[in-house]
């Protein structure tokens, strides 16, 4: 791997000094970019785009070519593992992800294989290797997975859900079955993320998109516990003067701001927070990195409003190390591209006064 030219993102994840707050955006490679829409049309369908390393690499690099972002994130989907388990992932227009087979009982769970990431998921590793070569040290590359709980919601519901009744029914009526599924998923995710690290991912993010739908106790038992299990199995390396010798891990539970302290105790390096969290209320700033947390809808606003919202977030976080600026969730597909430029410029310019690198 070539020498890193911009290591601000990795430094911020370790709460080390930087000269300005680094920024990247969830779903930064996506439909708001005209070049992505062209690539998607060329691929023919979303799964082909994900599973063709050259196309996934191109999608990953598109926002990096357009903007001065401080990190790239590999273009993929959180549902690659359930697909590799044989559930048949497909995407229906306007309806999001669907599975041909869903999980209903213990016998379904027992039949699920633990995928070998260098076999059925090798297209992701190939995309990471290719992207690292193309990036040539410009910015770090982030690898990721969905959390066991979030993957389980899609596998049991058969796709997206609003009420999560099927998985909650299993949680309360067949908890042993759900724990068995979550164990298998935790093992699969740990193998998958270690393979990503080996392929060249310099940071890892676990997306717990649906952790926030759980009760306080259920979150600890059915979501956080399994993310902690994954953390204990990851080959993160060691912190040395070479910033790239260690692979930091970010946990992001959408709607999980109430559990900030519990998440911090897992041993993760950074916590992603959504826009419901006031950054000035975080007591452990400077000890654990924080990623977030602009409401993506702010990007519909004019330049002055975007800049004002950036200032508010930077002021809330204050002059601590360890802030990675991001959206509180993925960017919307109809955001004007120049508004993203306003955001990035505002973060880079306005954050300098908080840093003395």
Catalytic residue among 77, 83, 269, 274: 77
Name the active-site residue from 31, 66, 129, 180.
31
| Known binding positions for substrate | 27-31, 77, 154, 209, 329
Q: How far is CA 104 from the centre of its chain?
A: 27
* From 36, 154, 219, 226, active-site residue: 154
- Show me where the domains of the chain are located: 23-276
The single residue of 8, 11, 40, 236 carrying the catalytic annotation is 40
- For the 23-276 domain, the top CATH level (class) is alpha beta
Asked about 27 being catalytic, the answer comes back as yes
Active site residue 208: no
Q: Is 77 among the residues known to form the active site?
A: yes
Virtual CA dihedral for 274, 275, 280, 283, nearest 10 degrees? -20
Which one is catalytic: 27, 66, 129, 180? 27
* pLDDT tens-place values along the chain, 357 residues long: 668 999 999 999 999 999 999 999 999 999 999 999 999 999 999 999 999 999 999 999 999 999 999 999 999 999 999 999 999 999 877 778 999 999 999 999 999 999 999 999 999 999 999 999 999 999 999 999 999 999 999 999 999 999 999 999 999 999 999 999 999 999 999 999 999 999 999 999 999 999 999 999 999 999 999 999 999 999 999 999 999 999 999 999 999 999 999 999 999 999 999 999 999 999 999 999 999 999 999 999 999 999 999 999 999 999 999 999 999 999 999 999 999 999 999 999 999 999 975
In order of 27, 77, 120, the CA distances from 53 in angstroms are 18, 13, 13
Is-catalytic flag, 129?
no
Residue 11 catalytic? no
Q: Which residues are annotated as a binding site?
A: 27-31, 77, 154, 209, 329
């Amino acid at each position: 791997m070539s020498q890193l030219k911009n290591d601000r993102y990795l430094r911020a994840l370790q709460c080390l000094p930087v000269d300005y707050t680094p920024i990247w955006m969830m779903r930064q490679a996506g439909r708001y970019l005209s070049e992505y829409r062209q690539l998607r049309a060329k691929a023919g369908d979303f799964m082909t785009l994900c599973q063709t390393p050259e196309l996934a690499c191109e999608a990953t690099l598109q926002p990096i070519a357009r903007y001065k972002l401080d990190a790239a994130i590999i273009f993929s989907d959180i549902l690659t593992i359930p697909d590799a388990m044989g559930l048949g992932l497909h995407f229906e227009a306007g309806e999001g992800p669907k599975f041909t087979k869903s999980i209903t009982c213990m016998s379904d769970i027992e039949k699920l294989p633990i995928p070998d990431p260098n076999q059925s998921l090798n297209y992701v590793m190939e995309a990471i290797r290719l992207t690292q070569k193309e990036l040539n040290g410009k910015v770090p590359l982030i690898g990721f997975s969905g959390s066991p709980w979030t993957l389980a919601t899609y596998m049991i519901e058969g796709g997206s859900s609003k009420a999560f009744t099927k998985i909650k029914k299993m949680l309360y009526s067949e908890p042993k079955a759900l724990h068995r599924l979550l164990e298998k998923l935790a093992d699969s995710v740990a193998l998958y993320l270690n393979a990503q690290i080996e392929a060249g991912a310099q940071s890892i993010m676990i997306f717990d998109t649906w952790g926030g739908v759980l009760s306080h106790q259920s979150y600890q038992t059915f979501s956080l516990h399994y993310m902690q299990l994954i953390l204990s199995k990851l080959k993160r390396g060691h912190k040395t003067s070479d910033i790239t010798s260690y692979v930091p891990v970010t946990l992001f539970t959408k709607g999980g701001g109430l559990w900030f302290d519990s998440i911090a105790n897992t041993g993760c390096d950074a916590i992603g927070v959504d826009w419901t969290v006031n950054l000035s209320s975080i007591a452990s700033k400077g000890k654990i990195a924080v990623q977030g947390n602009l409401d993506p809808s702010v990007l519909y606003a004019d330049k002055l409003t975007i800049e004002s919202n950036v200032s508010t977030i930077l002021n809330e976080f204050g002059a601590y190390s360890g802030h990675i600026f991001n959206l509180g969730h993925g960017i919307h597909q109809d955001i004007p591209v120049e508004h993203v430029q306003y955001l990035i410029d505002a973060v880079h310019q306005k954050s300098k006064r908080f840093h003395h690198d």
